[in-house]
A and B are shown apart, each in its own frame.
Chain A
Amino acid sequence: MRNYIVVRRLATQPKLANAPKRKWKSVVGLEVHAQIASVSKLFSGSGTAFGAPLNTGVAYFDASIPGTLPVLNRKCVESGIKTALALGCRVNEVSMFDRKHYFYADLPNGYQITQQRAALANNGLMTFPVITPGKKVYYKSVNLLQLQLEQDSGKSLHDDYLKRSLVDLNRAGLPLMELVFAPDLETGEEAASLVKELMLILRRLQTCSCKMEEGALRVDANISIHQEGDPLGVRTEVKNIGSVRSISQAISYEINRQLELVADGGVVTNETRNWDAENRRTVAMRDKEVLQDYRFMPEPNLPPLHLNLKPGCRSTKELISVAELSEQIPELPEHTRQRLMEHYKLNAETAIILVNEPVLLEHFVNISKSLAGVPTKVITNFLINDLLTYCNKLNLDVDDCAISAEALKDVLQALHAEQINLQAARQLIQLLHNNPSQTVSQLVTENNLQQICDLASIEAYCQQAIANQPKAVQQYQKGKSKALFAIVGEVAKLSAQKANMKLAVECLEKLLKKQQ
């Protein structure tokens, strides 16, 4: 019997080798450091203004002057709790602070105060839409393992020419929330979508400015690949990702790099890599990090942080009530999407785009309130297809587009009343952007954008168009109905895009029928 098995195994071996290759899977986990929007630092009274003159926002504690002690900033705790609640976390009744030791010139104490053993909150869940160009939108859920409070380090500035390092401690001690997500993601787009959603939530909570360009939100990605059915592969950590767009680029790059490496017979090593945004690639950090032992130790100068978890309780001077903070949580993005879909009957894609662009959402809500007769579809089409496209073309943030909601409302009203046509409406976006002081009606008059609606003029344009497009007329009359577009286009051209196209089509159909 035993022999038989051996024989069987030998016999099947070649077959296994020939079996179709298993699929490669990529696994992505994110760690996000979000700077808590606050007036003062996490453990000291110094200010937090970005871009303040070097080393001016530094309390004695931030510079580790001997004898100074940390005093926990209550506002930062409250912001941490609100964020944790918005992300569905279990907020812990007791959390603690720890010291994480390492030597670095911009870490004045020689340790960072963080929460390692007992964090502020655990076990959250984020569900968010993933938008991949050319693919259908889908929802993804990611577990949030931990949300902890910790202090930021200072900044080292290296002067290679003079061979010296300078230290700016303005950032030292700024409050951070570190969010550790489970490796539940697969692609760069999913990661970018997660961060996008997180930014929407944090901005609504006003717990973080989310300005990645100021370092207020920093994303590190852990990336690995493995074959289906195998345990997770060796991961690399990608740091220095400076924008939402870079998140998806950096991760996609790194996944492909690992796939190609393995395909060439290489092995992925556990290393930290930097995202080089200019050359769009990840680069291994020069000085390879030796395995650090941070020698964690409880922070003896801060008593455990106790919170009141009882429902219905109020905060006191000594104890923060989580229930009270939960009442202050505003509507979250996903709730807004659902509301848009239910109340305005928008489709999912439209709702997602509006929520992603808070300014568009505000315009939409205002306009649809004041122009009850205009179909929502017209409004969303105009905002998304015309306004947003215009901004994207100019590489302009919608927030920075100077067109007021009032002006947009006037444009849509004129469009709906058929005083202008869609072409004119599009033209008006540009005109309004360049002449923010002028009203819509002024611009319409000055630029002669009124739609031509009188039937006699329309008919004159149509007859001229028919005369100019004999070929199209012939095709149309042979039954090729699409040829009508060419004639309609001619009318538009003849009328300098001003003819009412609905009337023009009716007129053309009537005239062409007569000719037959």
Chain B
Amino acid sequence: MRRHLQLSIKQLTAGYINGQLSPLQVAEQALEDAVKLKTLNALVRATPELARQQAQESTERYTKQQPIGELDGITVAIKDNFCTANVHTTCASRMLQDFVPPYDATMSARLREAGAVLVGKTNMDQFAMGAGTVDSIYGPTKNIWSEDLASQDNWRIAGGSSGGSASAVAAGLCYAAIGSDTGGSTRNPASYCGVVGLKPTYGLCSRHGLIPLVNSMDVPGILTRSVSDCVQVLNAVAGPDPLDSTSVQRPYKKLQLPEVDQIDLSSLRIGIPKEYHCDELSAEVLETWTKVADLLETAGAKVRQVSLPNTAASIFVYTILNQCEVASNMARYDGIEYGHRAADERSTEQLYAQSRAEGFNQVVKTRILTGNFLLLRKNYDHYFEKALRVRRLIAEDFAKVFETQQEADKVDILLTPTTLSDAPVYKDFITLSNRDQCAVQDFCTQPANMAGIPAVSIPVRLSKAGLPLSLQLMSNSFNEQLLLTVARWIEAEVSFDSLQSLQRHAI
């Protein structure tokens, strides 16, 4: 294992400044490792030339003692649904297999401007529809914590849909990766891969250049090996963007977390939502959940049970809204301006039909068909309109616990599982359909997307099988400061080693 991987981003840049390390050296090692760990299939496309160029420029800046940002020389990877200028952006689909965006997504641009070094684009479920990173034209992504990486189908999935990003961070191919999170797509793979996965408040990070799944829920996510790294990246990418009308216009104030020994939990109120204790929850996750709740209580926090009564409805509402927006968002892929174009040019309709039939997988097609059905004039009120109303109820559930006038009932942070178990074995995972898997996998994560609130998954301990078990924290909108402060405290308390798998595999 590369020794520098144990450093935080802050420590790594300090190493650049004092000359012990150079961005070029770190980038070269990352590129080497990406080749070595090709079996993970974390990257759909490495970008060695760009990485070397950016690392070279960064190295020169450090030589001149003029780094341009807090991420200068930091290796990053970006999920393949964020546009990167002149670098293929495929959404892991045949439809966009040859699509080279002419522009940078705001996330990509801000990383670039902060001096980050892009090592590659990461694997995902096609158009981010999935929770396993198993539905990609580039094949599935493997979890580095798997007992047996070499087996045919007995390895562990990385989770999804940002499985490539989580896998890349866990395997040390980069210090941070950008994912997207619509129903849990950043937190779910973070949970399985034993890394930190942040879903910021909706509107805090720009969606411009993120190829949409569900516009009203999509947020860019951040995956790192530590909470403080996560803050470093968030500080570089968050804030208003005139190109995204749904981004929050007020200026972003950079987060600064207190040192761990300065964190005081005595006035903190933690809520444990009882509805998250679902039937499918594994004993190990439940045990982990209880353990951390106890830790917090012991440290002086007030931990109590709360109720979010509409949680069970969330997955149904999510399914409807997701399919409707998918049907709409996918309408642009007709093979005319860009994307896969079939050979059949007998008529415009025929060309569309054939291009779409060839360009999309079964999951995408099913959602398009269902979504269009649900949007029909005769169905709209029954499904879409009703789903919107229930969505408001779900959001109100959160508002009630975070904003209630009754001080006694109020909580600051909700503590829940992220996923219901440790990472499933690939061959078991694919026995269920994509739809059924999403309903299970997203159970704890997608209510936060409904409400737009921030949530973070942090690894806590290993299961009996030696796989990461993680928990999720949620806070009120724009309270990332508190959310990540508590996450940092737990992180220090449980001292989970994200890189342990690398040692195990002697990589």
Contact = CB atoms under 8 A, between A and B. Distances in A.
A300 B102 contact: no
A242 interface: no
A69 B243 contact: yes
B245 A297 contact: no
Interface in A67-105: 67-72, 99, 101, 103, 105
Interface string B74-105: 00000000110000010100001001011101
Contacts of B337: 63-65, 108
Interface stretch (B49-57, B170-178, B211-219): B211-219
Contact of B215 (A63, A103, A300): A300
Contacts of A303: 245-246
B368 to A, nearest CB: 11
Nearest to B206: A69
Interface string B348-384: 1100100000000000000000001001110010001
B331 interface: yes
A470 B325 CA distance: 94
Contacts of B334: 103, 105, 110
Given A67-B211, A99-B328, A295-B375, A105 B348 contact: yes
B473 interface: no
Given A110-B334, A293-B377, A300 B245 contact: no
B380 A296 contact: yes
B114 interface: no
Nearest to B216: A300
Interface in B195-254: 207-212, 214-216, 242-246, 249
Nearest to A103: B352
Contacts of B331: 101, 103, 109-111
Given A65-B101, A67-B105, A67-B208, A72 B245 contact: yes
B376 A295 contact: yes
Contact of A293 (B102, B352, B376, B384): B376
A295 B244 contact: no
A318 interface: yes
Interface residues of A, number: 30
A63 B208 CA distance: 15
B129 interface: no
Contacts of B376: 293, 295
A301 B99 CA distance: 23
Nearest to A109: B332
Contacts of A69: 207-208, 243-246
B211 to A, nearest CB: 4
A63 B105 CA distance: 16
Most chain B Cβ neighbours within 10 Å, of A69, A110, A165? A69
Chief secondary structure at chain B's binding surface:
loop
Interface size range on B against A: 35 or more
Nearest to B352: A103
A71 B206 CA distance: 13
A301 B217 CA distance: 11
Interface in A137-195: 165, 167
A152 B83 CA distance: 26
B96 A66 contact: yes
Most chain B Cβ neighbours within 10 Å, of A60, A67, A68, A101? A67
A302 interface: yes
B327 A66 contact: no
A222 to B, nearest CB: 20
B375 A297 contact: yes
Most chain A Cβ neighbours within 10 Å, of B215, B242, B328, B376? B328
A293 B99 CA distance: 31
A317 to B, nearest CB: 9
B344 to A, nearest CB: 14
A318 B89 CA distance: 34
A397 B375 CA distance: 50
B337 to A, nearest CB: 5
B245 A65 contact: no
Contacts of A301: 207, 215, 244-246
Contacts of B303: none
Contact of A66 (B83, B214, B336, B380): B83
B484 interface: no
A235 to B, nearest CB: 20
Contacts of B336: 105, 108, 167
Contacts of A65: 101-103, 337-338
Contacts of A103: 331, 334, 349, 352
Given A65-B101, A69-B245, A99-B328, A295 B348 contact: no
Contact of A295 (B96, B242, B372): B372
A115 to B, nearest CB: 15
B338 A295 contact: no
Interface in A370-421: none
A68 to B, nearest CB: 7
Nearest to B218: A300
A70 B242 CA distance: 10
Contact of A71 (B96, B105, B245, B328): B245
A71 B207 CA distance: 13
Interface in B40-65: none
B324 interface: yes
A108 B332 contact: yes
Contacts of A300: 214-216, 246, 325
A70 B384 contact: no
Contacts of A66: 83, 89, 91, 96, 99, 101, 211, 332, 338
Interface in A283-312: 293, 295-297, 300-303
Contact of B328 (A111, A165, A302): A111
Given A65-B103, A69-B244, A69-B245, A297 B328 contact: yes
Given A60-B102, A109-B332, A318-B249, 18 more contacts: A63-B337, A64-B337, A65-B337, A66-B89, A67-B211, A68-B209, A69-B208, A101-B328, A103-B331, A103-B334, A103-B349, A105-B336, A110-B331, A295-B380, A296-B375, A297-B325, A301-B246, A302-B246
Interface of B: 82-83, 89, 91, 96, 99, 101-103, 105, 207-212, 214-216, 242-246, 249, 324-325, 327-328, 330-332, 334, 336-338, 348-349, 352, 372, 375-377, 380, 384
30 contacts: A60-B103, A63-B337, A64-B332, A65-B337, A65-B338, A66-B101, A66-B211, A66-B332, A67-B211, A67-B212, A69-B207, A69-B246, A71-B242, A71-B245, A72-B245, A105-B334, A108-B337, A110-B332, A111-B331, A293-B376, A295-B328, A295-B376, A296-B375, A296-B377, A297-B384, A300-B214, A301-B244, A301-B245, A301-B246, A302-B245
Closest 9 CB pairs of A and B: A110-B331, A300-B215, A295-B375, A300-B216, A67-B209, A64-B332, A66-B211, A67-B83, A67-B211
